[in-house]
Every structure is written in structure tokens, then in C-alpha cells.
Chains A and B, each alone.
Chain A
Amino acid sequence: MKFILNGEPREVTAHPMARLLDVLREEFGLTGTKEGCGEGECGACTVLVDREPVCSCLVPVAQVAGAEVLTIEGLGGQHPLQRLFMDEIGAQCGICTPGMIMTALSLGPNPRLDEIRTALAGNLCRCTGYAAIYRAVLRWSGGGAPSAP
């Protein structure tokens, strides 16, 4: 089965019913996508499939045949949101951060705070109380002031 992973065509040898999460982490060694619950509740496993955020712990790998999958590694460390998450302390322990960033990528330009909250409702964070995550996302889209220390 073939698909496009982080911009590159790849072939999968895993069982068709293997979870996309496990294929990414084990067959391709991309451990940036995390398993927090295996139930589709926490969003730590979020990747983009054809530009839509999905929980990779719920996707049978056969269903991404021919699709474009983007993981946190696919951003190459260069996406402004990645720097902003560190600067604004949007990441404390960091385990939810890759999934949070991938979902945030699906936001349009200049989202309002309520749109950000709704978009991220499927990504759980236990450390930050979410406020610093909003600050990071608002700074990215130019919708907020830099936080005062």
C-alpha cells in the first residue's frame, strides 16, 4: 500500500488494519506522534490526512492509501507555531504539543479566540490550562499581543 508521508511517497508493509499511529511510530520511526489514550479522546495522536486533523489511533492504515499524511516531523522544525509554543510556554511537558500543533494548523488565518477554543476542543492538555496555547496560536496568526511577562 502506498501513500505520501511528509511529502515523500512511501510504501507500507504493515497489516492493513494496523493503526496509522503504530505504523508512523514503528514502521517509519516517527515517534513525534504520541499515544495518550488509544480511544480518540485526547488528540495527542493527531496528524493531518489530506490536510484534515484526525486521530491516528483510530485510522486503519489501509485507509490512507493514496492520501497525504503530515506529521509533526513533516514541519521540519521550521513552522513558526513550533517556536511560538516554546516561547509562550504553550508546551509545558510537551506530550500534547505535537497533536495540538497539528490541529492548530487547520485553523484559517486570524482566527478568533472562540474559534481556536472550538478547534482545539479535541486536544486535551493537563499542564497549561490552555491559556498559553491560545497565546501561542494568537501570536502566530497575528491576532494577539505578545504576552507580558
Chain B
Amino acid sequence: MRSVGASVPRKEGIGKATGEARYADDLAFPGMLYGRVIRSTIAAGRIRSINLDFDPAGFTIVDHRDIPHRNIVALIEDDQPFLAGPEVRHPAEPVLLLAHADREKLNAARVTIEYQESAPVFDPELSPTTFKDLTIIKGDVDAALARADRIVEGTYRTGHQEHVYIEPNGVVAVPDGAGITVHASCQCPFYVLKALKSLIGSERPLRVVQTETGGGFGGKEDYPSILAGHAALLALKSGRPVKLIHDRTEDMAATTKRHPSIVRHRTGVTRDGRLVAMDIEVILDGGAYVTLSPVVLSRGCIHAAGPYRCDDLRIAGRVVFTNTPPNGAFRGFGAPQTQFAVEVHMDRIAEELGLDPVAIRRVNALRPGDTTATGQVLRPDSSAHEVLEEAVRRTDFLKKRRAWKGTHRGIGLALFYHGAGFTGSGERTLRSRARLALTGAGVRIEVGSTEIGQGTRTIHAQIVAEAMGIPYDLVEVAQPDTGAVADSGPTVASRTCMVVGKILEECGVEMRQRLGPLSPAEYFAHHGPLTVERIYEPPAWIQWDEENYRGDAYATYGWGCDVVELELDPVTTEVRPVRVTAVQEFGRPIHPALARGQIEGGTVQGLGYALLENVVMKNGVMANAQLTNYTIPTTLDTPEIDVVMLENPYPGGPFGAKGVGELPMDGPAPAVVNAIRHLGLDVREIPATPELLARSPVTGSAPLP
């Protein structure tokens, strides 16, 4: 009865297809009020006065003085308030909360805020405040640069990206006895709980229940804590349930986005293309508060040298303050930005040396036994060459590269990797837990991992069924409710299968031992309930020096090589991807169809990042905060995606599995731009819009009028 490795029926149930699945806005409670957030309209300054120009009858009004405990969104740094006052640091910063039973009255309430404005900072290169900087050093890069045959320099830029989960952020806060229960569309119910405790204090019972969630992609990792806090404050003050749902415009304007980046490379190479020195500068725009920026910087820098061997390098990164809404987690978390830069840079190096993009990667790609930028020795579960060769072979890359030169067709590739799980000692610090509880019929999984479309419940159930040797149908999965499940850490960082799944595998093995030859039902009938709970133990061999950023950054890596084939329309300088080949190795798939879905979906999200998605900022405000004007790929923008899943088991993962959620995001943008470069257009930033292509310098024989 093999469960792992088969595309079994999903535990998530048919409710999504029948309309019965309940998302945050589908919930209703007796006496429920609707909430509204009044936000700042300036980027920087102080609030001088707030004028409420409406009849307050029936309204609940909350400002920062109503906060029982601390006006701090507890995350990494204690710098972001739930409600601003008096200082404002970004447009759309929350200032005041209103609630009313009648939505028309709620939306009609006029609030006028007077400010004393100060000069805002919008250019990250001119920012006076660095949230975090770090430097990764290996060998002596300056000496190595001096020895190099050739030096190639380049600057690469990426813009904001908005998640556009089709379900906007939303929560309902419900007074529950002496406490509050918040039902939230979220990825991390325990993050929300921690933030509520910081806001409200620990005297009241607080509980967070994850609702069916319509997409996250990192955009519901930390932001829901703020929304939950707002709804909870209104619920506390009014004594009524409060629903707080963002409409699309508010969601796009006020919530987190991907950090924009500027990455500079100065690379020393030998004449035959070997990388001998890499000097890299990474600048990320963090927005107005720290949120998760230090970790985004960390991951971005660790991946900045790409999946390549180089003995002498320096990666100096910083994430800085600007008066824009804080940026946050988005699938890939820094690695898509820095691997975009290194992969386009590699193609430029190849061009300068007269090598093709495959040759330069064959020379430099990491092999087991090589050391990474942080000095980590790669183990056998590393597949840079395998994914590269398969992608090149399958697409007939080199032949097309030669044949299409000087035509309207372009082909480009990107080689990339992605560390799975939290960086360095992160997993050890998290001490994630998983719990299995015997029921009368079978066994129930009680973890804090959330299903947000990726099939968490299904793969966890498969792993437990396999580990226990019981039918998959006997495994149920509890709804993530902080009152009823173990804290398994956040559903982020491609760790839900590899880390939490691993704890569950061990729980399953232990429970199997305890059950002996009995089935769950037999054991329960004879002995009663049984619970097994375990804490994640990272592999013993992991050594990480947080101070110097050296050592084993991740327990393992996923590997990928994407090839993009596209066509240019010279009349409009639009490029149309015609075919994308995604060759990815992530250990082995627990559920092949779900894994394929992650690769197909992540690849298309990467195509949007590369070509279509442009956040237009005007004075710190997202000027195109509507789906009409922020365009994600439709069916007709999406080419065929040919997915190849290679296997190379990771011994520390459940049944050999690694993480796959974010890996697919790292490849498409550089592969697209490298294909555009094949056309003869010198593009070094994304989104690579038709407007950008029309004004890009032309290299070689570009077929443009």
C-alpha cells in the first residue's frame, strides 16, 4: 500500500470545487461588525490632528491609545507599530480603526488627518538607514581579481512584485469567553498568535484558527498578524465579532511586496571561462520597517554567487529603509533577485569570452565535494550538472542557440539552486514540533503547517501512512488551530515537507513501534488514546557560524535548470515565451501531481515577474493598485511548461524529499532575459517590458527596425 510517491486523492477534499470550502470572507457570526482601516496619505511626517467628521453612533473607534499591551508587531525587530502615532513612515500606514454593523455608514465615514510632512526617502541608494548588512567572505577576492585574465562587471535590477493571491487578506476576530479567537487567511497561525500576545498581553486566552486560504506565496506570512491585531482591537473594544477584509486595491497598496534589488557584479575569469573571483554587492529596498528583511537579505546573499565554484569571493549585502510600505516574504525570499543577477551576468561573461551559455556553466557548476560561497561542502544530493545536461539535451539548446542567432527567436537558460528550510541554525532555533494522535478510527496529524494550495495535508498524510504502514485513508489532518495543534513553525522556506514532514515521519515510526502489531483502531479499543509528539532535530553534521556567515547554510538544496524559448515581435518589441522547459531536482516527489503543480505555478509566477508585473511607484504609493493595471499572466500569456522532475534523495528528508515550493521561482526571470539577450538586446533588469526592450541597447545583429 505505497502512499508516498503516488498521486493519491487529496485530503483537502472536494469543497474547493463545490463552493463549500470556507474562506475568511465566507464566515459570518451573530452580531458581526465590519472593520475599516484608516491609513496615512503621506510618506513621511507626523500626525498633527485627526478629525472625525461623522456621527459616531454605532461606531467603534480605535487608535494607538486603545492598545492594551504593546503597540509593536512582534517579528524580528520591535520597530513596526500596529497603529501609527504620531510618526508616519509610509503611505497607507494604519492610523485609525473603525467598525460598524452597516457597511455603507462605515465606508462613508469621513476622517481627515492633518500632517506635518517631512522629506521622504525613496531611492534605496540614498537611504540614510540600513536595517541590516552582512558580508560573506571566502578566500581573498581582491588578490584573485588582480590575477584574473579578464574582469567583467555589471549591474542588475529587479522591481517590486505583488503576490496577487486571488483571495485578498482577511480575518474575523471573535470574542470568545474572556478572550479572542481570530479566524485568519494566513500561512503561520503561531506567528499571528505571537503578534496578538504582544499587542494584547497574555492575560486573555488568545487563539488563531487558519481558515481555508486562497493563496499566500509569502504575502500571508507576516502581514496577517497586523490585520489580526486590528480586528482583535476592534473586537475587544466593541465586544462583537469583527470582520476585516481587504479589497484588492487596499491589499495591493498596503501589504508587503517582494524587495526590489540592485546587484553589482565584478567578476574575474580565466580565458577559458573559469570563475576565479566574484565581488558582489547586493542592495535590497526594505521599505519603512524591518519586518523580515534581515532574513531576505541573508538568503539573497547566500545564493548571490549562484550554483558555481569559486574559491575567492566577497558578497556584501545590505537592506535599507525607504518611506514605502514595508516589503516582505515572497516565494524565493531574496534568491530570485540575486540569482537573476548572477545568471544574466554569467551569460554576459560567456559573451565576452566567446563561449556559449552551456560551456561556461559546465566549467563552473558545483559538484558534490565542492564548497559553496559560505564554505559548505556539497553532499551527493547535489545535481547542478544533471539538471543542466538534461535541460540542454531535452531542448536541443545548442542547436537552437546557433540556428536562431539573428532571427526573431531567442533561447536562454538559467541554472539555479535553492536552500530548503531555514538558514543556518534557524531550524535548530525554531524547535518545530509535530504531533500524532491516535483516534478511534485511525490517526490524526496535529501540526501548525497550513494548506494554502500546495497540498500540505495530503503529503503529510502520505508520509504518516507510509511510516506507519497503514492505509492513507485512516489518516486525518487537524485544522491548524493554535489551541489544538503543535507549533510546527511557519509554512515558509520550503520546509513544510522536508522539515515538518520529517518530524511526522519520525512520529509515525515511533507510533508504529508503540502500536506493535495492532492497527490504530485495535490499539485504541484496547488501550485508549495515544499521542506522540516530537521536536525537529536537524542533521548533526550541520555547522553554521552566524557571526561570520560561514558553514552549512542549508541542510540541502533543490537544483534547477530552466530553458525559455521566445519570439520577438519587432513591430511592438513584445516577446512571447513559446515554450519553457523546467528541469528540477528536489529529492523526490511525495505526490508527483502536487509537485508538478508547484513547478508549473512557480514557473508562471516567474514569467510574470520577468515580463508583465510592474509595480509603478509614485511618491511611495503604488499607483497601479488594481488588477486592471497590475497584470499577472492569463491563460493566453502562458506557454506550455515542460516539467522534468529528476530524483536525488536527501537522506535527512522524509523518504528522501527536499522542499520544492520556492525553487521554481528562481529560474524563469534570468532564463527569459538570457533569451532576450540572445535576440541581441542588452537587457539587465526586470520587468523586461516592451517599453524597456524598445530602448535597450542592441548588441550584435539585432533584428529590430
Contact = CB atoms under 8 A, between A and B. Distances in A.
Q: Do chains A and B touch in the complex (CB under 8 A)?
A: yes
Interface in A27-64: 30-39, 41-42, 44
Given A82-B14, A126-B215, A38 B597 contact: no
A96 B16 CA distance: 9
- Residue from A36, A41, A126 having most chain B Cβ neighbours under 10 A: A126
B4 to A, nearest CB: 12
Contacts of A83: 14, 17
Interface stretch (B361-369, B559-567, B635-643, B678-686): B635-643
A31 B19 contact: yes
Nearest to B589: A149
Contact of B167 (A81, A93, A147): A93
B596 to A, nearest CB: 8
Interface string B141-177: 0000000000000000000000111111000000000
Interface string B633-653: 011101011000000000000
Interface string B269-296: 0000000000000000000000000000
A73 interface: yes
Given A44-B166, A72-B18, A128-B600, A149 B593 contact: yes
Contacts of B638: 129-130
Contact of B6 (A38, A87, A117, A149): A149
Given A93-B165, A118-B636, A121-B635, A82 B18 contact: yes
Contacts of B596: 89, 132
Interface in A63-115: 71-73, 75, 77, 81-83, 85-89, 91-98, 101
Given A82-B14, A95-B23, A127-B453, A36 B248 contact: yes
Contact of A124 (B26, B166, B594): B166
B166 A125 contact: yes
A123 B637 CA distance: 12
B626 A39 contact: yes
Interface stretch (B226-234, B539-547, B601-609, B669-677): B601-609
B600 A131 contact: yes
A5 interface: no
Contact of A129 (B23, B248, B603): B603
Contact of B215 (A127, A129, A131): A127
Nearest to A29: B28
Nearest to B18: A77
A20 interface: no
B17 A124 contact: no
A72 B605 contact: no
B17 A85 contact: yes
Interface in B5-28: 6-7, 9-10, 12-23, 25-26
A120 interface: yes
Contacts of B455: 89, 92
A28 B628 CA distance: 29
Interface residues of A, number: 54
A131 B20 CA distance: 24
A34 B627 contact: no
B213 interface: yes
A122 B214 CA distance: 18
A77 B14 contact: yes
B601 A92 contact: yes
Contacts of B627: 36-37, 39, 41-42, 124
Given A37-B248, A124-B627, A95 B166 contact: yes
B454 interface: yes
B117 interface: no
A38 B247 contact: yes
Interface string B188-220: 000000000000000000000000111111000
Contacts, number: 167
Contact of B248 (A39, A92, A128): A39
B186 interface: no
A35 to B, nearest CB: 7
A52 B274 CA distance: 61
Interface string B447-486: 0000011110000000000000000000000000000000
Given A39-B627, A128-B600, A149 B7 contact: yes
A86 B214 CA distance: 15
Main secondary structure of the interface of B (DSSP, over half): loop
B592 interface: yes
A72 B16 CA distance: 10
A117 B248 contact: no
A94 B248 contact: no
A37 B628 CA distance: 9
A126 B601 contact: yes
Interface in A7-34: 25, 30-34
A86 B453 CA distance: 11
Interface string B576-601: 00000000000000001110110011
Nearest to A35: B25
B388 interface: no
B632 interface: yes
Contacts of A95: 23, 165-167, 214-215
A96 B165 CA distance: 10
B597 A93 contact: no
A145 B125 CA distance: 53
Given A94-B214, A121-B634, A125-B166, A73 B248 contact: no
B28 to A, nearest CB: 8
A141 B612 CA distance: 32
B7, B26, B597: most-surrounded residue (chain A CB, <10 A): B597
Given A32-B20, A91-B17, A149-B593, A96 B166 contact: yes
B593 A89 contact: yes
Contacts of B9: 86-87
Contacts of B164: 124, 126
Contacts of A94: 12, 15-17, 21, 212, 214, 453
B166 A36 contact: yes
Query: Which 3 interchain pairs have the tightest Cβ spacing?
Result: A32-B19, A94-B16, A95-B214
Interface of B: 6-7, 9-10, 12-23, 25-26, 163-168, 212-217, 247-248, 452-455, 592-594, 596-597, 600-605, 626-628, 632, 634-636, 638, 640-641
21 contacts: A31-B25, A35-B25, A39-B248, A41-B626, A73-B18, A85-B17, A86-B12, A88-B593, A93-B167, A93-B213, A94-B12, A94-B212, A94-B453, A95-B166, A98-B19, A117-B635, A117-B636, A128-B601, A129-B600, A130-B638, A147-B593
Given A34-B214, A149-B7, 16 more contacts: A31-B19, A33-B19, A42-B627, A85-B17, A86-B9, A92-B597, A93-B16, A93-B452, A101-B17, A117-B635, A118-B636, A126-B605, A126-B632, A127-B601, A131-B641, A132-B593
Interface of A: 25, 30-39, 41-42, 44, 71-73, 75, 77, 81-83, 85-89, 91-98, 101, 116-118, 120-132, 147, 149
